[in-house]
Chain A
């Protein structure tokens, strides 16, 4: 147990944060240049110069090239047809073909966006070089300046670390609590405790308190690891964070206790918690934003404890939100904790 407490957060942070990454790099591009002109070579050099692409040249056989795509040897085929440069100069318009392996629609979308933006930029460059802009009157233009608040370098990792800390804390709060109590049930030792003069509430507090303390300790340890390894910012107040974490833990401990009252074996608890954690984590907004989910899913999130804590920990750590900003989440946690612990104690009485 003890090595687990220290090893688990480090391994989880290292593996999860590095694996859970949607940034694209090493896009394998196969180039078929049938034009072999100066313009086509310039376009290719743009892709060669980009750090996102690994460029290689395909043969002129379409069949061989699509076999490359089928066997995952490349992600995208850029086909520059014969007459590319000539059409561009004479007809003012020229086509090129991109074939993208779209089995993974998410990466295909990104590859498409990167590639077309390189082509668009190149296009502007070509226009500037070959032709003077039409004279007479000037185009209207709008300057768009964008700035990224709270994370100017657009570092995806500092967004993932807080979310993963939530999962870590919940595994301890919910999972280990439930497992621990059911283990006593399975071994029969809970009967022995029940016949001692210990009161029900004393037993429950006694069972829950160690896990509450361990989980809070894990949170601090995880924060330190995150700070040292990933340089996550801690903008908001830690007091706010830990107060909310305490409330959140009451909810997860309550759920753990409740699950342990409906399960009889460790195997059952294991599967039930695993099932709920999987559903709740996927819906919590850890990987995809909650707003893009359908309405019913957003309604389900009302009973999803992960949703609240992942939202709050990101707000407090990254944006420095204060108590006033997270007031509604705090109320939600208080109501949730009261309800679930009440339910668990009620169920617990019945089973004994």
Chain B
């Protein structure tokens, strides 16, 4: 037992000696949460536009003012002819051109109808769609005020309630995702690389001939990473709670227990990878492409799974982070208990056992 304690101590020294990696390990979750919280938002604001006003009368000025004072748009250029439009788009700074037809106010007064043309730079299709919707919304709003004497008949009024997230905060989405990503990164990637490193350097042989049993070696290797991962998980929960006001509606004990289950799963995956990979480079590439990209893309972290083609949806079903993210959302946000997540929990536990069994099998054959 004393030898084992010594071995664990050695592993901790190994990790803490490498200050740069340590720094990144602890800075990564914080930086990621802050970036997701403040930078990658869906706020719609400060879109640069140009206006081609062929009429220049009171009404067009009023509409222009209304559009610019909405906070969504910034006037970049006042164009004077249609020839300038293409060049303005190609320069890349503007995303929309609003064109008022000649005699706009006169037409609106006499014929009761006038024309506005919106040209959007649709190379970014989603944003273009939003820009056109927002602009039309503002123009219709102006029109509504102009027509306010006439009451609209038979209004259907939809009352919308955003369940679980009244104020539509982005944190509800990215805190669970970041947790899955960071735990996967540290547990699986670090473990697999550090074991592969011992193999590559030949020091694994030294460990194997020591009086420690192979199981003890593996356990000793992973214990420091369990500690680091767990610290990071707690950091992320605290950051989400204190900085972004993400509630923890369910039981904290269940939340932490599920986190530990996922850490164990990632570790067993890491061990499995290290038994397959012969050196660090291979271990890294397997971790990168089999773990990180899927965790980011195929787990429902950023992009909703339902929108993907069927083949990718099938891939999503075998990705452990998917289930962990579902569990986190249930426990943290919806405040439900084990009742709602027992299926996902069982899947994670089953996967852990499978990976462990596979790596034990692989490990033995390697020793013979």
Contact = CB atoms under 8 A, between A and B. Distances in A.
B158 A319 contact: no
Given A123-B154, A127-B152, A319 B123 contact: yes
Given A109-B42, A266-B280, A267-B280, A103 B114 contact: no
Contacts of A4: 285
A106 B163 contact: no
Contacts of B153: 92, 127, 131, 134
Interface string A53-68: 0000000000000100
Given A179-B281, A267-B193, A142 B334 contact: no
B60 to A, nearest CB: 11
Interface string A97-123: 111111111111100110110010011
Interface residues of B, number: 105
Interface residues of A, number: 106
A285 B132 CA distance: 20
With a 10 A CB-CB cut-off, give which of A19, A108, A271 has the most chain B CB atoms: A19
B266 to A, nearest CB: 16
Interface string A294-319: 10010000000000000100110011
A294 B38 contact: yes
Nearest to B19: A268
Contacts of A270: 193, 284
Contacts of B197: 265, 267
B368 interface: no
Contacts, number: 306
A97 B330 CA distance: 24
Given A70-B334, A105-B168, A321-B92, A292 B302 contact: no
10 contacts: A15-B298, A100-B163, A104-B304, A159-B124, A183-B281, A267-B197, A270-B193, A274-B185, A293-B40, A319-B89
Interface of A: 4, 11, 15-16, 18-26, 43, 66, 69-72, 88-89, 92-109, 112-113, 115-116, 119, 122-123, 126-127, 130-131, 134, 138-152, 154-156, 158-159, 179, 183, 262-263, 265-268, 270-272, 274-275, 278-279, 282-283, 287-289, 291-294, 297, 311, 314-315, 318-322, 325-326
Interface of B: 18, 20-21, 24-25, 27-28, 31-32, 35-36, 38-48, 89-92, 108, 112-129, 132-133, 135-136, 139-140, 143, 146-147, 150-166, 168-170, 172-173, 185, 190, 193-194, 197, 280-281, 284-285, 289, 292-293, 297-298, 302-304, 306-309, 312, 326, 329-330, 333-334, 336, 340
